[in-house]
Amino acid sequence: MVKARYVYWQDGEQWLGYLEEFPDYLTQGTSKADLEEHLKDLHEDLTSGAIIPTVRRVAELSISS
């Protein structure tokens, strides 16, 4: 099972969020559960290996001093 962290918030009746690894790709749902389904679909699209132009990612860099 793959896990992905996400950021979410409620704005009026809508639930908004994005995957932490892909902060440029915002999605929404009518409930938190609906938002999570949209986030799962988004994760599948962005990590499928298909060539999607301009997909930005977040990574961590180790720098020795």
Q: pLDDT tens, 2-38?
A: 899 999 999 999 999 999 999 989 999 999 999 999 9
Rounded to a whole number of angstroms, the CA Rg of the chain reads: 14
State the Cα–Cα distance between residues 30 and 1, nearest whole angstrom: 25
**Which domain, by its residues, includes 23?**
1-65
Number of domains observed in the structure of the chain: 1
The H or E element spanning position 46 is helix 32-46
| Predicted model pTM | 0.80
Of 20, 15, 16, nearest in space to 3 by CA: 20
